[in-house]
Amino acid sequence: MSAICGFLNVRKPAGMTSSDVVEEVRSILGERCGHAGTLDPQAEGVLVIGVGPARKFISYLAGDKEYEGVMLLGMESDTLDSSGTMTLPRRPVTASPDKIRETGADLVGTIDLAVPVYSAVHVGGRRLYELARSGVPVSPPVRPAVIHALEILEICLPPHDRASRVRFRVRCAPGTYVRALTAEWGRRLECGAVLERLTRTRSGPFAIERAITLDKLRELAGTDGVRGVIVPADDALAHLPRASFDDSGARRLRQGQAVPAPGGFEAGSLVRLVLADGLIGVGRVDSDGKHPIVLRPERMISEG
């Protein structure tokens, strides 16, 4: 079977790191791979993996994410989820369902969230989780997060001797830690909260309904069935305008040369560059106001 170039929508199981899944896919397919956005080990759901040369285009994928999660109220932990060490005694939950909904609505928009201490973000050349595990005191960076929508699916507030839970759905920009979002939700409710379960249901155009399990991928390994679950890079980048080229134009682009831009493109915009048999790269429209608008290659697939 010839080399594969495209994207794989994998249903990551809970208990595996994203890197573990990437390594497993690499082993199954015999191709170099990379993921388009980490999922925490205890989370499950959509993990988009670039296979072969398509790895070059991971940063160009449409980015919004959607998750369904469950948070536990009245608790706080060092990891911001239920797998960590509880840092405060369990507290009573006095907020009403209406208050929980109102507070959730206030989180929609751009908000500042502290990056979880147990995360892979680099601080001073080391990952935060490495510093945390070694006992090094660290102040996690605070970053803006964009929450497009936050929908409460269910609120369960039983008697005080049982855990209070909120099931929710959130749509957010890339880089949002849902653990940090629920921790902030709990802080505003003055009782604390930790994330109990999390499923990524969508990453850009990749939905969980079409995700493939690792077991199913193993069944398809070495057969033509693998091609049926690989999303061609051209399709995955369909949100970018398309410019087609003949062999001569493609050759120039692959050599790093700019080519005249077809009409209708705005200066500064990204464009997917296509030859008859599929995507060959991504370019950017360029103009200095004096010369004709051109396309300059940014990422290209080598010929062959």
CB neighbour burial string for 185-195, b if at least 16 within 10 angstroms, e if fewer: bbebbebbbbb
CB neighbour burial string for 119-136, b if at least 16 within 10 angstroms, e if fewer: beeebeeeebeebbeeee
For residues 226 and 204, what is the distance between their CA atoms, to the nearest angstrom? 22
Torsion angle in degrees (nearest 10) through CA of 108, 67, 89, 163 = 110
CB neighbour burial string for 5-20, b if at least 16 within 10 angstroms, e if fewer: bbbbbbbbbeebebee
Query: Choosing from 20, 40, 106, 235, which is the catalytic residue?
Result: 40
With a CB cutoff of 8 Å and minimum separation 6, the contacts of 34 are: 22, 49, 50, 55, 58
DSSP code, position 80: S
Biggest CA-to-CA distance, the chain: 73
CA distances from 259 to 19, 211, 250, 274 (A): 38, 38, 9, 13
Are the C-beta atoms of residues 201 and 46 closer than 8 Å to each other? yes
For residue 98, indicate whether it is catalytic.
no
Q: Could you give the residue numbers annotated as active site?
A: 40
